[in-house]
Amino acid sequence: MVDLGCWPGAWLQVLAERVGPEGRVVGVDLQETDPLPHPVAVMQFDFAEPGAPERIALALTRKADLLLCDASPKLTGVRDVDHAALEEVWQAALAVADHVLTPAGAAVIKGFPCAEADAFRLRLRERFARVSEVRPEGKRGTSREFYWVALHEVPSGPRSSSGRRGGRNRRRRKS
């Protein structure tokens, strides 16, 4: 599991509990973070810098099943500058995903509504089987952030006559 940016130590500890002693959690942040015990490795650098995906991949003991990117650039209030900075973060997260995820791995990446987000969502859909947007409960009412959840594998299950998988929210026919 790889975590990029702005996740306090408490989040890394929760992730470490989820992956267990055989797993690995790598946290990358610009800010200095207190070291945490195994299975957590904390790295301090800009994950958008050249060579960052390779550095992160080296910190893992195997390919990751999940990439979490909660990174957000410092916003200036200048629309074009801020949108370009967001796009740089998203492209860097995708580059890391390409280097560290297993073929069936998933990515969760923070997003904000803008035209660049629409274009990035299309890039995610080119690489992942399913992409959805989730707005976390408990976020401030003024926050417009959301998370893309990108999955490589389509869930298994019986196909309906329309070719769709799964069975939730389907109406039953009366016999």
Respond yes or no: is residue 110 known to be catalytic. yes
In three-state secondary structure terms, 120 is helix
Q: Indicate the length of the chain as a whole number.
A: 175
Name the strand (E) or helix (H) holding 93: helix 79-100
User: For residues 116 and 32, what is the distance between their CA atoms, to the nearest angstrom?
Assistant: 30
Tell me how many degrees the CA angle 123-85-36 measures, rounded to the nearest 5. 90
Annotated active-site residue in 63, 110, 139, 174: 110
Positions annotated as catalytic residues are 110
